[in-house]
Amino acid sequence: MSELIRNTASQTVYGQVNSRVDGSPITAGVSVAVSIDGGAFVAGGGGAPLHLSNGGWIYSPTQAETNGAMIAFQWASGAAINVTKDYSTRGGDAFTRLGVPAGASIAADIAQIQAEELLEATASALAALSAKIGNPAGATLAADIAALAGTLAAGVGLNAAERAALSTALLDLANGVEIGITVRQALRLIGAACAGQAGGGSTTTMTFQAMGNPGTTRISATVDASGDRTAINLTP
């Protein structure tokens, strides 16, 4: 199916008209009727159709005659086989709908828009990154990084008080080994069990003294005849 631009003048439709008697081309006496969206055929108002050659005719419909979704043109003559040709319509040509490009072409306009959008996105990303990084302490961020690298290369040391504080924090970290047992307490219990004096080996109660401090009992365990611990009391 052919196509016309809706509600637009200065267009041309074509029809081939031949004799109903012998099929020869009809070169005179042809008229055109127009139907819009399935309505009744009405004599064309765009002037008389023009014969081109060999029974081929053209007609220029008026603007009003193209104002519909489906336009039918009926070519007729007293001696001819009446021919009807349908045309669908679309709203305006692409150039009219797009408008005149601002630059050299529509493609150039699109490329310019994309470039501007990229610049805006880049600027926004850089602004967000700058806000997260903050202002450099030195002349530039690169200078700050270079200074930090120099400090790391030279080594970062702790003084005696800082080392002692760090060790104490680790040893006395709450629940550092088990719930309710710090690293310091666990080491005391391990020392008593492994290197402290032990007592009660032939009884049902065994004791383990603090390593290097036999006056302090760290572990008191109740054992059965097999030597299995059935209860234990810890004093870390």
The dihedral sign for the CA sequence 206, 210, 211, 212: negative
Mean pLDDT rounded to a whole number for the chain? 89
pLDDT at residue 92 above 70? no
DSSP run (H or E) holding 231: strand 229-234
Domain range annotation of the chain = 2-93, 173-234
pLDDT above 90: percentage of residues in the chain: 59
- Summarize the confidence of residues 119-141 as an average pLDDT: 85
d(CA 129, CA 124): 9
pLDDT band at 109 (very low <50, low <70, confident <90, very high): confident
- Summarize the confidence of residues 215-221 as an average pLDDT: 93
pLDDT band at 95 (very low <50, low <70, confident <90, very high): low
- Tell me the per-residue pLDDT of 139-166, one tens digit each, with 9 for 90 and over: 888 888 888 888 777 766 778 898 899 9
- Tell me the per-residue pLDDT of 162-205, one tens digit each, with 9 for 90 and over: 889 999 999 999 998 999 999 999 999 899 889 999 998 889 99
d(CA 183, CA 177): 6
pLDDT at residue 18 above 80? yes
pLDDT band at 212 (very low <50, low <70, confident <90, very high): confident
Angle at 134 between CA 132 and CA 138, to 5 degrees: 150
d(CA 216, CA 118): 75
The dihedral sign for the CA sequence 188, 194, 197, 203: positive
pLDDT at residue 78 above 70? yes
pLDDT at position 75:
96
pLDDT at residue 227 above 70? yes
pTM given for the model: 0.42
d(CA 221, CA 231): 6
What fold characterizes domain 2-93?
Immunoglobulin-like (2.60.40)
